[in-house]
Structure 1
């Protein structure tokens, strides 16, 4: 029997929940799934990239990771040039396209310094 495993949620450490939510929804285009305050110490925000089965979450009281410590997550896209152009138009500070033999990449960071990359597989 082969076990199946699905990565469905990645915690993102942030300092300002509302600023992070605005960035990921308005600038990057993630869908806002949930924003729920459980109690004074616990707020849970879940967002999903368009077309993804995996979501991100951040909030208050949900992780002990240092804000900005998330590095190296890839968002796979069909056309990194088109995605980069759209994000530049939305005011996102995103790198030029890095062309490698195994893919084309564009990198950005959220307001806390969590670093992400868009990857177009070639």
Structure 2
């Protein structure tokens, strides 16, 4: 059975401001903007280009999560320098490109090959924290030996 993560709810104070940030500055597609019956209800679903997972913002969606309290959301891109340039061009306050491990020295010396360890960070207008990670290739994980052993 596949288990897929398809929606993450992001707590925001101002739905219109957040929708503009995610749609106009980040380039997320607006899938839905609906107001179910009743006061204080609105649901906006936005999806990053190429993603199978959307974010939902709105009124009356997550009453126990204060706006800005969600941290550690992560987007993945094949080219971190291009993603950084696009965010800067769109007016997003974003960190400089950061690298982990041995690629940090290569980055300081002008290198761009940040195989899976290049990151940039930003916050939405409410303070929800996002990371963008470059992943050039995903490793394959083999099942443990015990899981593949024959039972007899």
User: Which residues in structure 2 correspond to 1:20-99 (within 5 Å)?
Assistant: 20-39=18-37, 40-64=39-63, 65-99=65-99
Partner of 1:115: 129
- Alignment partners' CA distance in 1, 2:30 and 2:12: 16
- Structure with larger Rg: 2
* Structure 1, gaps ≥5 residues long: none
Q: Shift of residue 121 of structure 1?
A: 2.1
Partner of 1:13: 11
TM-score normalised to structure 2 length? 0.76
Q: Shift of residue 35 of structure 1?
A: 0.2
Q: Shift of residue 41 of structure 1?
A: 2.4
TM-score normalised to structure 1 length? 0.94
CA root-mean-square deviation: 1.0
Q: Shift of residue 71 of structure 1?
A: 0.4
* Structure 2, gaps ≥5 residues long: 102-115, 137-152
Q: Shift of residue 62 of structure 1?
A: 0.7
By relative contact order (CA 8 Å, sep 6+), the higher-ranking structure is 1
